[in-house]
Amino acid sequence: MSAYQNEIKAVAALKEKMGSSWSAINPEYVARMRVQNRFKTGLEVAQYTADIMRKDMAEYDADSSVYTQSLGCWHGFIGQQKLISIKKHLKTTNKRYLYLSGWMVAALRSDFGPLPDQSMHEKTSVAALIEELYTFLRQADARELDLLFTALDAAREAGDQAKAADIQNQIDNYETHVVPIIADIDAGFGNAEATYLLAKKMIEAGACCIQIENQVSDEKQCGHQDGKVTVPHADFLAKINAVRYAFLELGIDNGVIVARTDSLGAGLTKQIAVTAEPGDLGDLYNSFLDCDEISDAELGNGDVVIKRDGKLLRPKRLPSNLFQFRKGTGEDRCVLDCITSLQNGADMLWIETEKPHVGQIAGMVNRIKEVVPDAKLVYNNSPSFNWTLNFRQQVFDAWTEAGKDVSAYDRANLMSVDYDESELAAEADERIRTFQRDGSAHAGIFHHLITLPTYHTAALSTDNLAKGYFAEQGMLAYVKGVQRQELRQGIACVKHQNMAGSDIGDNHKEYFAGEAALKASGKDNTMNQFG
């Protein structure tokens, strides 16, 4: 017997027990409402999605072709529509997640207005967006199931038993829109205690996976901006521990932590690490500092010095009071960061790179795997990269190395539209198309995400509408460019009243009031124009 039928049976028994005062209660209606509200709390969501992520991680370890993907979403509606689209076109949400970008929270969700991604948005705004996303995903479940219930009633009324059985099967085997969210906690917004408190809020909202980075909280910069400041490993590991304790306190024992390092591009540190003996973790961190060897006589007022191998070394300190690392040490620091994080509680890695290059990523990941064989990466397929130019240059360089004639191309100007139909551009586009597959096969990338896609799509679609609507096209700009496309492509949102829950509300009114219900979906409802 299906869960749906079990719910009907259970409520029927309860109704009988309660006697005539419950005569108006329909057990099947109750069962429908229960099925539509599968997840009662954010913690239920977090546990359900953590189980999914752990299963997916194990499957990736066995077969690197089964990687996972997500798009960054800045509003519950955007996340909802993404999952509706996935179910419509691909029939399953398997291996498809949501990403919650701190960058988009700063730019689009802050009470201060648009902000740069520099740890300035409100601490609780990410947790609030997680809750909002899951509210919209749960509503998508309720809406879709409501359509099935309505169709079931119609099939029954028509006496079509075969159709009714088919719809019942769809209800019994329904796949939820609720999927894992990888949520960006930035650098923790403060000390380890603040990180723990914030992580709890995010998990209680439904997050099963939290991404945290090894930058100074109050001076954190976007991964593709300059001026990034790392912290010694001990500081970062305390925050990883804080996130783990938050998961464990709330009973999500298999919660996932992604440890991000920006060391490839981060050339600064605020602190000199504590070291007790040569070769320990603090000593390794300090070994990358850019230093001048000095004598006792050269010590100046307030100088900070390091003693190594009997020598006095003075780290170069900037007017900002930050210390800088030696140029060219980024990859080594990145590898050390990753190994250390995985050996101390992190489940996966995030390496922020300056360009999307499978070979570069693989070079670091292979070094990490020598120590941690099952190391897995979450990778940012970032809109901050100029993908067209990067990949055309990669092809240009590969052709040059292979001795192929590239005289028809100007490497510095490969973005030009003049090259769009060229052989080089075609090969570059093919490499872009297979980048995720290749990265997962050769560079240990378990999860591919695009941080800011819906930021850009919102801007592009709004521009396309505005330029016509406020000019000569007028209303045709909307009808031709939006509504007609919604109809042609089967976009459910064309029935915006239904998407917002009007039909669910009507059915509830019928549950509550029977024939006396005042419903919105009568014959004069304008939504009926859309079929």
Mapping DSSP onto H, E and C, the string for 58-93 reads: HHHHHCCCCCEEEEECCCHHHHHHHHHHHHHHHCCC
d(CA 482, CA 475): 10
In this structure, the number of other CB atoms found within 10 A of the CB of residue 144 comes to: 19
- Where residue 328 falls (left for φ over 0; alpha for ψ -120 to 50; beta otherwise) is left
Catalytic residue, chosen from 73, 222, 291, 334, is 222
Virtual CA dihedral for 143, 147, 148, 149, nearest 10 degrees? 90
What are the strands, taking DSSP E only, across 275-398?
291-294, 306-308, 311-315, 323-324, 348-351, 377-380
222 part of the active site: yes
Question: Residue 294: what are its φ and ψ, rounded to 5°?
Answer: -135, 170
- Look up residue 259 and give its two tokens: 């440890």
- Look up residue 351 and give its two tokens: 């390496």
* Sign of torsion over alpha carbons 222, 224, 227, 229: positive
3-state SS, residue 98: strand
Q: Residue 147: is it exposed, middle or buried by C-beta count within 10 angstroms (0-12/13-18/19+)?
A: middle
d(CA 96, CA 368): 26
d(CA 34, CA 40): 10
In this structure, the number of other CB atoms found within 10 A of the CB of residue 14 comes to: 13
**What amino acid positions are annotated as catalytic residues?**
222
